[in-house]
């Protein structure tokens, strides 16, 4: 936002965000896509999410997560999407989860196979039928809990890893890694409107707009890798918990 609206960036900005999205065209090609679209509608789910750099503070690789272990301050509100019956326990990594609830709730729906859809439908029929003869629409919370009961997080986390891998490849295509961006920045002198560094050759000068673009690009690549690292670790923990 700073770059595109105001023409500058802040290095190591704690408010930097990574935009994640699930392609709408890909949704149309999923098995049982119409049913999944209905479930997403019940949850008012979005297929686009902003992952803020400060989310990483509670993660496994930040070195800061211990401050979140015994306090709800700074934690994402995740309890609403977990089991009401106790058949499937809340995951051990709940307090270290860096991804927002609405992202995982949406991905659980998208990752469901047809058998899981049938099981979720059966659970919801039991819930709705328990209120008497009147038929009603299941609430968003009931839907989230039913999906958690049936699916857990493994499918959603695998899809998240795949999305982040695709994001990394997209960001690095044609421009290289974050390390190559840093090398590029270090090899050039910044040329401001008011000041030009006299010791730089003309070939080694870079205007501030181009410098800002590379700083932003590098930060996006770093964020994508950091969130990918967290997602891969969460997936491993999730799969270990199922053994």
pTM over 0.75: yes
pLDDT above 90 (res 3)? no
Residue 78 has pLDDT above 50, yes or no: no
Q: Please name which of 174, 172, 112 lies closest in space to residue 144, comparing C-alpha atoms.
A: 112
Instruction: Give the integer Cα–Cα distance in Å for 156 and 235.
Output: 9
- Higher-pLDDT residue of 45, 134: 45
Position 75 scores a pLDDT of 40
pLDDT > 70 in the chain, percent: 77
Tokens linked to 7: 């023409």
Cα 210 versus chain centre, distance? 28
The SS3 of residue 91 is coil
- 2-241 is classed CATH 3.90.1640.10: no
DSSP string, 13-59: -TT-EEEEE--HHHHHTSTTHHHHHHHHHHTT--SEEEEEGGGGGGS
Q: State the chain's maximal CA–CA distance in angstroms.
A: 83
* 198 band by pLDDT with thresholds 50, 70 and 90: very low
- What is the per-residue pLDDT for 91? 84
Residues 129-137: contacts with CB under 8 Å, at least 24 apart: 137/42
The residue ranking higher by pLDDT, 41 or 85, is 41
pLDDT band at 85 (very low <50, low <70, confident <90, very high): low
How far apart are the C-alpha atoms of 146 and 127, rounded to whole Å? 9
CA distance 135 to 132: 8
**What residues does each domain of the chain span?**
2-241
């Amino acid at each position: 936002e700073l770059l595109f609206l105001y023409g500058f960036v802040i290095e190591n900005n704690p408010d930097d965000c990574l935009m994640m999205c699930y392609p709408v065209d890909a949704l149309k090609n999923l098995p049982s896509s119409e049913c999944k679209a209905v479930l997403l509608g019940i949850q008012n789910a979005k297929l686009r999410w902003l992952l803020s750099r400060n989310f990483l503070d509670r993660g496994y690789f930040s070195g800061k997560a211990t401050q979140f272990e015994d306090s709800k301050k700074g934690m994402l509100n995740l309890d609403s999407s977990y089991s009401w019956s106790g058949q499937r326990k809340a995951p051990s990594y709940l307090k270290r989860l860096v991804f927002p609830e609405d992202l995982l709730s949406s991905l659980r729906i998208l990752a469901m196979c047809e058998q899981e859809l049938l099981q979720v439908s059966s659970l919801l029929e039991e819930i709705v039928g328990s209120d008497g003869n009147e038929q009603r629409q299941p609430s968003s919370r009931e839907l989230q809990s039913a999906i958690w009961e049936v699916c857990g997080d493994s499918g959603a986390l695998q899809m998240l890893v795949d999305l982040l891998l695709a994001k990394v490849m997209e960001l690095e295509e044609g421009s290289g890694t974050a390390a190559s961006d840093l090398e590029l920045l270090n090899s050039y002198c910044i040329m401001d409107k008011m000041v030009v560094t006299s010791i730089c050759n003309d070939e080694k000068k870079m205007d501030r707009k181009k410098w800002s673009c590379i700083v932003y690009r590098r930060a996006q690549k770093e964020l994508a890798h950091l969130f990918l690292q967290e997602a891969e670790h969460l997936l491993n923990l999730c799969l270990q918990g199922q053994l």
